[in-house]
Amino acid sequence: MKVLLIAYEFPPILAAQSLRWLHLANELVAQGVQIEVICPDIAPNQAFPLALDRRVITHRVWPGPFIGLGEYAAKRAAAQSSVSNDQASVAPSAKPSLLSRAYGIARDLLNRVVYPDIRSEWYFFARKKLKELLAANRYDIVLSSHEPAVDIFVGLYAKRAKLPWVVDLGDPLLTPYSPRWRRGIDLRVERRIMRQADHVVVTDDKVIELLVERHGAHLRERMSTISQGFPASAPVEQKSANASFSICFTGNFYSDFRNPTQLADALRTLQGVDFTFHIIGNNGRFKPLFDGIQGVEFLGQKNHSECLEWQRRADLLINIGNVQNYQIPGKIYEYLGSGTPILHIQTSESTDPGAVLIDRTKAGVVIKNKSQEIALALSSLHEQWMADPTALVKHREESLIQCHTWLQKATLYRKVISQLLI
């Protein structure tokens, strides 16, 4: 079986979709599937933390003039930084260069003009490569990632070539956070995808229900749920006793969803709890919420491997659920694989698939996003930890949790693809 994957976000780009495709591609080639990938030729300054299987063949294509300019600016800034470091130490808070700031402003403006964002400039170069590969090779399936949506636009050409086309949609194109100017376009494009794709893969059953509601019940048989996962080899080690109750959050807070205000208020009112709370991610603008709270440390961004290690070493992991009732953060699956109990703060007014998953696997505690409830839960979990550090993980449903390894997700994917070839 030979699969051609179109994925803008692919290693070494550091993004959630990159991690998804790294794990799925590695597991699929281990199961005998041939994988080739069309991806942009982008090399971030920070090294990608995990290795791509050598059997995965990549066809790297120029990302386009604007992103190409960004590559040039990043490399130039890195070179200047290297020279400066040789001459003198550079303050970690040093401001970005004028070129970098100008590039950021221009990119933000172009994202408001180009549909759906500036990464669509890759379309012309990626489609050319797709044509060349289809002419020179025989593929069984063409698979489009999302997001960005440019992967889908490139993949539409595969339908003209009469090849089965699978779209790994993940979330719908039309979302509550889609800019108002493009919501009508998003809906039309989403409708076209649902009509033309041979199969659509999403990451939660709620997305299937939403798409069926929008586009018709006849589409249900052409959709499958394959969620995010965690590495099967991730060790669940016996935790060493931390000096104090160690709490950890990895990821990013946001103002409109995943907002930590209630969490900060809860921590401020905790009495008699000796804790440390490590916050890992790009969350500097939220520091004022936690000012004056003893034990809170903002550690900034860490690479993926470091985040996994922090998750394993903690006594409790904090997750703030999404407002959308059809989204489940991939981080929850990482948390499951860490073997560390989870305190899940539900912000959705209706069903929260993350909360359902944690309840079903007995991997932690689910509470509402109210400071009093959060404080009570933290106090209770601390008391249990003081009495027995292993008490919080004794009832985990390991058999259910192991269903979410990347090995199992790749097996599901192989079955979906195989059924299309019958």
Model pLDDT for residues 187-233, shown as the tens digit of each residue: 999 999 999 999 999 998 989 999 999 999 999 999 999 999 998 86
Q: How would you classify residue 243: left for phi > 0, otherwise alpha for psi between -120 and 50, otherwise beta?
A: alpha
pLDDT interval class at 74 (50, 70, 90) = low
Contact 25, 5 (CB under 8 A): yes
What are the Cα distances from residue 113, in Å, to 106, 134, 172?
11, 32, 21
Report the pLDDT averaged over residues 293-299. 95
**Residue 259 scores a pLDDT above 60:** yes
Angstrom distance (rounded) from CA 224 to CA 413: 9
**Residue 89 scores a pLDDT above 60:** no
What is the secondary structure of 323-346 as a DSSP string? SSTT---THHHHHHHHT--EEEEE
Report the pLDDT averaged over residues 386-414. 92
pLDDT interval class at 88 (50, 70, 90) = very low
Confidence at residue 392, expressed as pLDDT on a 0 to 100 scale: 83
Tens digit of pLDDT for each residue in 134-156? 999 999 999 999 989 999 999 99
Three-state secondary structure call for residue 163: coil
412: nearest Cα among 28, 9, 13: 28
Tens digit of pLDDT for each residue in 40-69? 998 776 677 789 999 999 999 999 999 888
Three-state secondary structure call for residue 100: helix
Q: In what order do the strands lie in the sheet with 223-225?
A: 57-61, 34-40, 2-6, 141-144, 165-170, 199-202, 223-225
Q: Give the position of tokens 């030729």.
A: 41
Q: Which CATH architecture has domain 245-404?
A: 3-Layer(aba) Sandwich (3.40)
Three-state secondary structure call for residue 54: coil
Contact 64, 150 (CB under 8 A): no
2-65+104-229+406-420 and 245-404: identical CATH topology: yes
Q: Give the position of tokens 């520091």.
A: 287
**Structural domain spans, the chain:** 2-65+104-229+406-420, 245-404
230 pairs with which residues across the strands?
A: 405
Contact 220, 211 (CB under 8 A): no
**What is the dotted CATH code of the domain comprising 2-65+104-229+406-420?**
3.40.50.2000
Q: Give the position of tokens 């080639």.
A: 29
* Cis-peptide, bond into residue 147, ω within 30° of zero: yes
Rounded to two decimals, what is the model's pTM? 0.87
Angstrom distance (rounded) from CA 192 to CA 101: 37
